C-alpha cells in the first residue's frame, strides 16, 4: 500500500518534506514531532534531529494565529495523526505476519 493512501497522509507526508528542508514549525512537521516515537517505531523515516520542542503547544499557537476555531481543528488534526499511526502500524503488522508464513 502506498503511504499517500493512508488517512492523514495529506499532513504527514508534507511534514516529512518540511523536516528534510529544516522546517519544523509547519502543521505536518509538528504532527510528526508529536508522534515521533510511534511513527519511527512503525518504520517511517524522517529526520529526528530537528523536531520542535513542545510540538503540541506550538501547533495550537500556530492554529490560534490562523483561525478562530483552533480547538476543533487541533482535535481534528490529532485524529488524523492517530489514524495515520494506526494504519501504518497495521500495514507493518501485516508485513510481519506475511513474512513469517
Domain ranges of the chain: 7-100
Rounded to whole angstroms, the Cα distance separating 101 from 39 reads 26
The per-residue pLDDT of the chain, averaged, comes to: 94
What is the three-class DSSP state of 34?
helix
pLDDT digits (tens, 9 = 90+) for 39-58: 999 989 999 999 999 999 99
Q: Give the distance, in angstroms, between the CA of residue 99 and the centroid of all CA atoms in the same chain.
A: 27
Which residues does 25 contact at the CB level (< 8 Å), separation at least 6?
52, 58, 62
Q: Answer whether residue 14 shows pLDDT above 70.
A: yes
C-beta atoms surrounding 91 within 10 Å: 16
- In the 8-state DSSP scheme, what is residue 5? G
pLDDT digits (tens, 9 = 90+) for 58-81: 999 999 999 999 999 999 999 999
C-beta atoms surrounding 71 within 10 Å: 12
Residue 44 Rama label (left phi>0; alpha psi -120 to 50; beta): beta
Model-level pTM?
A: 0.92
Amino acid at each position: 500500500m502506498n503511504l499517500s493512501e493512508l488517512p492523514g497522509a495529506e499532513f504527514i507526508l508534507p511534514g516529512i518534506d518540511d523536516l528534510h528542508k529544516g522546517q519544523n514549525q509547519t502543521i505536518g512537521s509538528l504532527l510528526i514531532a508529536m508522534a515521533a516515537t510511534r511513527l519511527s517505531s512503525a518504520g517511517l523515516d524522517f529526520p529526528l534531529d530537528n523536531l520542535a520542542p513542545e510540538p503540541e503547544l506550538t501547533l495550537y499557537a500556530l492554529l490560534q494565529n490562523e483561525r478562530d476555531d483552533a480547538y476543533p481543528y487541533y482535535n481534528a488534526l490529532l485524529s488524523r495523526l492517530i489514524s495515520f499511526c494506526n494504519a501504518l502500524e497495521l500495514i507493518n503488522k501485516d508485513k510481519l505476519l506475511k513474512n513469517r508464513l
